[in-house]
Amino acid sequence: MRSLIRTIVIAAVALVAVGARAEAKLRVVASIEVLADLSRQVGGDRVDVTSLSRGTQDPHFVDAKPSLVLALNRADALVYVGLDLEIGWLPPLVQQARNARIQRGQPGNIDASSSIRPEDVPNVPSDQMRAMGDIHPLGNPHYWIPPKNARAIARLLAERFTALDPGGAATYKAELARFEGRLAAKEKEWEAAAAPLKGTRIVTYHKSWSYVAHWLGMEEIGYIEPKPGIPPTANHTAQLVELMKKNGVRLVIVESFYPSTMAKFVAENGKARLVAAPANVGATPAIKTYFDLVDAVIAALKGG
Ligand SMILES: [Zn+2]
């Protein structure tokens, strides 16, 4: 009888411990789904991750729903792309959330762009760039697809999660090593698969494929938007089509949330193939992880 009671007591204590552990998960809120996935990959079972936006949405413009404020209010960490990608919607949400843990300067405020080397950083002041209509005056924020940047983001996440949750240090170290191992293998596979794309001349809707172009050796000839964030005009489009024909542009790349009629028009008249490429986890239901995303990007570029 005594040993039975002892067993029950031990079992009860174990259950309470499991319960406490479940409650103690690090609550991570990510601005976009690809950062949510990288957070899950690095955080393993120590983290509880939510994304503020869906992969089908344009990450420049997300509806500021009250539920997002609630998620931010409870967060231990906020992971975001930075370089002003989310400037149109995230700062007011963070302000309304009144959560000191995720304010700038706190370890729970994780600006993923601090881990990478930004491209297209203009050499004129950012307010001047903004006045000229460019929505990315701090540099190009569409950097998360190339493996070297995903690796840098994952390392930053592991470092910050460890600072916020020192008890999980061993888990974060092991999960990061697992992620990096898989990434190194996939990187070789992706680069081999994409080798035929080297030298391919491309036009993209938004300037959101530059990092991918540089990674895979493709050459950007122009953009359907005259400036990042500025809608196309008839005059600009006509000039672009001429430029495409002169330069033998083969691909026109566009994310699903941009108007496809304009992209279709440019591709048809410029004699190029239209590529509806995913740029985020969740862009299609099959893209559940960062690895799925890059697989899908390369398949789309190759016409698979
Ligand atoms: Zn952009």
Cα of 213 from ligand 1 centre, angstroms: 15
For residues 144 and 228, the model is more confident at 144
Per-residue pLDDT of 37-60, as tens digits, reads 999 999 999 999 999 999 999 999
Span 114-126, average pLDDT: 87
* pLDDT value at residue 7: 59
Cα of 91 from ligand 1 centre, angstroms: 17
- Phi first, then psi: give them for residue 72, nearest 5 degrees: -70, -30
Mean confidence (pLDDT) of the chain? 92
Residue 6 pLDDT > 70, yes or no?
no
Cα of 58 from ligand 1 centre, angstroms: 9
**219-223 and 201-204 beta bridge pairing:** parallel
Residue 19 pLDDT > 50, yes or no?
no
* pLDDT value at residue 176: 98
Cα of 281 from ligand 1 centre, angstroms: 16
Of 131-140, 270-279, 284-293, the range with the lowest mean pLDDT is 131-140
Cα of 134 from ligand 1 centre, angstroms: 9
Residue 303 pLDDT > 90, yes or no?
yes
Residue 252 pLDDT > 70, yes or no?
yes
* pLDDT value at residue 242: 97
Percent of the chain with pLDDT over 70: 91
Residue 74 pLDDT > 70, yes or no?
yes
Span 198-202, average pLDDT: 98
pTM of the model: 0.90
Cα of 162 from ligand 1 centre, angstroms: 31
Rounded-to-integer distance, Cα 137 and Cα 124, Å? 9
Which residue, among 34, 69, 64, 60, has the nearest Cα to 49 in the 3D structure? 34
Cα of 121 from ligand 1 centre, angstroms: 13
Cα of 112 from ligand 1 centre, angstroms: 15
Cα of 128 from ligand 1 centre, angstroms: 17
Cα of 194 from ligand 1 centre, angstroms: 24
Cα of 6 from ligand 1 centre, angstroms: 61
* pLDDT value at residue 14: 53
Tokens at 51, concatenated: 């994304």
Cα of 206 from ligand 1 centre, angstroms: 7
Q: How confident is the model at residue 124 (pLDDT cuts 50, 70, 90)?
A: confident
Residue 220 pLDDT > 50, yes or no?
yes
Span 247-258, average pLDDT: 96
Cα of 74 from ligand 1 centre, angstroms: 28
Cα end-to-end distance, the chain, whole Å: 67
Per-residue pLDDT of 152-186, as tens digits, reads 999 999 999 999 999 999 999 999 999 999 999 99
Strand partners, 202: 220, 251
Tokens at 301, concatenated: 């570029």
Cα of 247 from ligand 1 centre, angstroms: 25
Residue 204 pLDDT > 70, yes or no?
yes
* pLDDT value at residue 131: 72
For residues 22 and 151, the model is more confident at 151
Per-residue pLDDT of 268-277, as tens digits, reads 999 999 999 9
Residue 9 pLDDT > 60, yes or no?
no
